[in-house]
Amino acid sequence: MTEGNVQKQLIDHIERASDRSVDPDTDLVEERVFDSMGFIELVLWVEERFGVTFEADELEVAFVSVAKIAASVVKKSAS
């Protein structure tokens, strides 16, 4: 699993779920791509899709952008 592959899957999912266009560096929080429920759904989708889990204290750092989510997923997958 590469970061590029994860990013592509994330972008496809986020754009379908939010009806917004995003790129790897779009700040998902600042741009308010999701409301709080949408954010939780994104976290659950990522965990299920990629077989990783995130602790609550990791979310603020890991779920800022597609690039950061992808990097976190790849790092967790390698562990």
Predicted pLDDT at 41 = 97
Q: Give the CATH fold of the 3-78 domain.
A: 1.10.1200
Question: What is the pLDDT, as a whole number, of residue 1?
Answer: 84
CB atoms under 10 Å from CB of 19, counted, come to 8
- For 20-72, write each residue's pLDDT tens digit: 999 999 999 999 999 999 999 999 999 999 999 999 999 999 999 999 999 99
Alpha-carbon distance 77 to 34, whole Å? 25
Number of C-beta neighbours around residue 14 at 10 A: 22
